[in-house]
Amino acid sequence: MKTAITIDGVDFRINGTLTYAEVPGSRAEAHGLLYNARFIQGVFDDKADPKRFARFGFTAWDPDANTDRLIAALPAWYEHGLRAFTVGLQGGGPCFTIDNRTIDNNPFGADGASIDPAYAARIDRLIRAADEIGMVVIVSYFYGSQTARLTDGRAVRSAVQTASRFLRDNGYTNVLIEVANEMNIEAFDSHPIIKEPEGMAMLIDLAREESGGMPVGCSGGGGYTNREVALASDFVLIHGNGQSRQYYYNMIRKCREWVPSKPIVCNEDSAAIGQIAVAQRTHTSWGYYNNLTKQEPPTRWEILPGEDTFFALRMADAIGVSMPMPDGDDRFVLHGFEPDMTYGGERWIRLASLHPEQIDRVDFFRNSTLYWTAYDEPFSINFRSNWLQGGVKVEPGESWRAEVHLCDGSIVVKEATT
């Protein structure tokens, strides 16, 4: 292995050097951080009905091709400063289209004692590809609705042992472990050993022991923190979903009080990249989450125009990686009109910005009639949270206009036609 991740107080080191310290001209305040992205579907498959994922411009579903596309995209993300990404052994839920409870994306046997060889091969290929270019993989074991396929608490413990021994036996040095994605959510009601802090603290200890000492943590839902879990963790995982910048800051302060000498890593927030500013000022690591293009299979892993590009550029700037920055109207992109990104006749219309903090509001017009006003980042129609929005039924030939009202009083207009 070429890439070894270690923890030094509140900082991360790769091969003994503080992260980003090797980057010429990098900012000292970024050294030790781990900017990351949620690529949770990196080894995804659906054993129940895979044909339904031949969509979004793809003519067939192929789980190996999905993993290979992610591997091919990693160098560009690395160039912009991404040093870690989260992949789930049980994936993550499509949140806009298909009910995850109807999907079979569980690599564990019902008793937790085995792991599907096809999943094992994909995660191995992905971890080794990341290792080659200096990246870290946060391997997440459990996702709420998929753990219903494990029979009981003993099966959960066994799955932790199985996954951890797999990571240990393959000799990976570029892996961090997330025992569960959002341990406190309702989907884990059937497994109190995951949902209750006492049980999770035990599972964290078990994962650390069985993996041979790999760093372990566990996330909660947006805004959730727990002292017992934080104390048991080697690094504190948080999620920023649904949080304003103030609430996000408050959550970080609470964690710092509990564990002042451990790294704090957000490995899931949203496309609301204004949160990066809070992470910068608190010396905590931030994780980008594009719920639509990076979690709805088949995923598009490359740095896409608009949201992805703006995050990549903001991350590069926070680190001190020199990248050409767009100006003028190029700082804004009207999303939702990409040819293949539609499902059930719906589109997800939103306005991406390089500097969303400079926007007062966005007025969306449908065929010249005001349809929606968005005040909160990431400025979406049918806003539900910073990570989720409702779709809009559209017809061919409709004209759409977004009037972006900036805080300085100026207005930028972006237009599209279905």
Cα 228 from Cα 271, distance rounded (Å):
30
For 392, the enclosing helix (H) or strand (E) is strand 392-393
- Looking at residues 182-201, what average pLDDT do you find? 97
Shared-domain flag, residues 60 and 146:
yes
- Looking at residues 265-282, what average pLDDT do you find? 96
Shared-domain flag, residues 233 and 374:
no
Shared-domain flag, residues 248 and 333:
no
Residue span of the structural domain in which 74 resides: 5-319
Shared-domain flag, residues 406 and 304:
no
Shared-domain flag, residues 314 and 337:
no
Shared-domain flag, residues 313 and 335:
no
Q: Read off the pLDDT of residues 235-248 as tens digits, 9 standing for 90 and up.
A: 999 999 999 999 99
The pLDDT score that the predictor gives to residue 394 is 94
Shared-domain flag, residues 281 and 403:
no
The pLDDT score that the predictor gives to residue 371 is 98
- Looking at residues 26-54, what average pLDDT do you find? 97
Single pTM value for the model: 0.97
Give strand pairing partners of 216: 177
Shared-domain flag, residues 166 and 271:
yes
Q: Read off the pLDDT of residues 105-162 as tens digits, 9 standing for 90 and up.
A: 999 999 999 999 999 999 999 999 999 999 999 999 999 999 999 999 999 999 999 9
Residue 339: which CATH number? 2.60.40.10
Shared-domain flag, residues 181 and 154:
yes
Angle at 181 between CA 179 and CA 183, to 5 degrees: 85
Cα 310 from Cα 355, distance rounded (Å):
8
Which of 296, 319, 342 corresponds to the end of one domain? 319
The tally of domains found in the chain comes to 2
Query: Contact, 307 vs 335, CB < 8 A?
Result: yes
% of the chain at pLDDT higher than 70: 100
| Sign of the C-alpha dihedral computed for residues 367, 370, 371 and 374 taken in this order | positive
Tell which residue, 296, 311, 304, has the closest CA to residue 356. Answer: 311
Shared-domain flag, residues 379 and 305:
no
- Looking at residues 387-395, what average pLDDT do you find? 96
